[in-house]
Structure 1
């Protein structure tokens, strides 16, 4: 007998999002719950959830602050522990996902599958998937999953290049409209990060790299937006989403800030990456923006890195130039010392900085 899946009544209105802007964007989610506070969640602890998708989903598992990991962490913060089954493959379109559905999802017998698909179908142009073929592929993905007694959540595709009016997003509109229609017709849960992202862009003048690192793949803010959309679709209310966000803020190594120092030729580069939790990043950001001459976190770290390297170059140090550091094969030792100095500066900033504001308020 097929397992009965009770789908909560869904609202397709976009999640309300407030934006607080300094030199980088701190997103604050004030999510309107799509269910009554005492309604049960759509899933329960111990269930297996497959996350089918492209590189956005692959990174969602491979990165500490990816949206798949955030979904699992957000549920755990509310006493619901799931077993994630990552099934994201870079470059995949609906055609590719359909070809591997049995191997990567059905054979693993999950209780739920989330399907995130559409960016590559549109973005890849002639190598993508036409709308009518996309409709058939997505319908087949849903039908096969439901026939296997798997609960389905459909995610709308996130905007491409963070430019709502570009040709990609004009084309994507029909794809996302179909997904909303498909979710309603097939009684699937719907997470709508597309609508949520567009709400962010509409509230921000000339949005550029607010939610992504390259126009497509989410930065930590974008990952949180997608994860919040998924959790809300699973039925988390405002209070539960607040617990999830508090847990996300403590995940280490979510924000990666890379700083560089180029030699005279530009070919030789000293660089290091400083990894911070969201809580650390926002605390430092708040401290820096309250200075007489505010700077962003990347600007601060870049300036501190350059000053630290300068200590090893004449007249302060013994090396003629950054090129000489490379020639002396001392760059690794210097990077180690510079990173230690930067860590000390960050620790000092964190000690002095006020805590970031509670994202729930």
Structure 2
């Protein structure tokens, strides 16, 4: 079966009435800081990460922005609060996306309780408001499967707080937890993470669509961004370091599915055959 490269429809989003009426809220020349943990750090590490996809998606709409990566592996809400000034506010961004909660729950006894999490998030938002930095809140993505696991059940309360906070403070919200579940339902054979937590290409695409929607891109604009991503030549890189566009990846997925192989396995077989064909006879 041929797998679709990605869903074109926008992620599930929640907006305040004022922001919903305003439409596109990010402008050309804006600076966006992305505060988060390893998911965000990896999201800024390559063109296929959600941070870079947000920037390329905005650029496809003629909105060039400057990105400030501020994700650190393992970080929780208390650590993000502690480095907020140095990593974000001192750089005077126009916007900041806040992705925080996975490690607060996932780290168990070494995590952050819900009440302390609420205090930390409120402090982060207060300090951003005082500094004139506008914030987009991202709900936390799932902590492995199943969605009914103790970690995800616990995480639900953290995400509920984020939704309530976004509504109360009139802030845009990208409900990535709901979007992730919707993507899994629409494409049950598609894996969105490399380890149950950290995003693969499809997970990063899901996150980027959610953030872009929170910035006000409508379905038509997201479809145009999707088209630009489909033809971007460096979004997929195989284990053999072969870079492909999403269109090329989709075609390769179809061939791999017919042979009951993964894309990486197919690329390895093709590469091995090509190398052997290139070698002089007898080598």
TM-score by length of 1: 0.70
User: 1:195: how far off?
Assistant: 0.4
In the superposition, relative to structure 1, how do residues 43 and 162 fare at CA in structure 2: closer, same or farther (>3 Å)?
same
What's 2:266 paired with?
A: 300
Matched, 1:44 2:12: no
Backbone CA RMSD of aligned residues: 2.6
Q: Which residue of 2 aligns with 1:215?
A: 196
**Structure 2: distance between partners of 1:59 and 1:180:** 25
**2:249 aligned to which of 249, 256, 281:** 281
Aligned to 1:253: 234
Cα distance between partner residues in 2 of 1:253 and 1:46: 25
1 CA distance for matches of 2:269 and 2:183?
30
Say if 1:64 and 1:252, in contact at 8 Å, map to a contact too. Answer: no
The residue aligned with 1:89 is: 72
Do the aligned partners of 2:60 and 2:228 also contact (CA within 8 Å) in 1? yes
- Structure 2 residues without counterparts, runs of 5 or longer: none
Q: Is the 8 A contact 2:105 2:112 kept in 1?
A: yes
**What are the Cα deviations for residues 158-188 of structure 1, in whole angstroms up to 9, with x where unaligned?**
1011421222111111111111011111111
Is 2:81 the partner of 1:98? yes
Which secondary structure state, in structure 1, belongs to the residue aligned with residue 241 of structure 2? Answer: strand
Question: Separation in 2 of the partners of 1:283 and 1:304?
Answer: 14
* Higher RCO (C-alpha 8 Å, min separation 6): 2
Deviation at 1:31, TM superposition (A): 2.2
Query: Which stretches of structure 1, 4 residues or more, deviate above 3 A after TM superposition?
Result: 32-40, 202-205, 286-289, 293-296, 305-313
In structure 1, distance between residues paired with 2:187 and 2:56: 29
Q: How far has the Cα of 1:109 moved from its partner?
A: 1.1
Find the residue that maps to 2:6 and give its secondary structure: strand
Secondary structure, counterpart of 1:29 in structure 2 = coil
In the alignment, is the contact (CA less than 8 A) between 2:53 and 2:208 conserved in 1?
A: yes
CA distance in 2 between counterparts of 1:223 and 1:169 reads 20
Asked if structure 2 preserves the Cα contact closer than 8 Å seen for 1:25 and 1:210, the reply is: no
- Give the match's secondary structure for 1:273: coil
Task: Say if 2:112 is the partner of 1:129.
Answer: yes
Cα offset, 1:306, TM superposition:
4.5
Does residue 151 in structure 1 map to residue 130 in structure 2?
Answer: no
Distance 1:309 1:152 in 2: 51
CA 1:244–1:311 in 2, change beyond 3 Å: closer, same or farther?
closer
Instruction: Verify: 1:60 aligned to 2:60, yes or no.
Output: no
1:116 to 93, 99, 102: 99
Contact 1:49 1:113 survives alignment (8 Å):
yes
How many residues of Structure 1 are paired with residues of Structure 2 in the alignment? 278
Q: Does 1:30 align with 2:9?
A: yes
Q: Based on CA coordinates, which of the two structures has the bigger radius of gyration?
A: 1
Offset at 1:310? 6.4
Residues 15-43 of structure 1: per-residue CA shift (max 9 Å, x gap): xxxxxx64x66321312797999954112
How big is the shift at 1:127? 1.6
- Provide the C-alpha distance between the structure 2 equivalents of 1:50 and 1:142, rounded to a whole number of angstroms: 14
CA shift for structure 1 position 274? 2.3
How many angstroms apart in 1 are the aligned matches of 2:282 and 2:176? Answer: 51
Partner of 2:169: 186
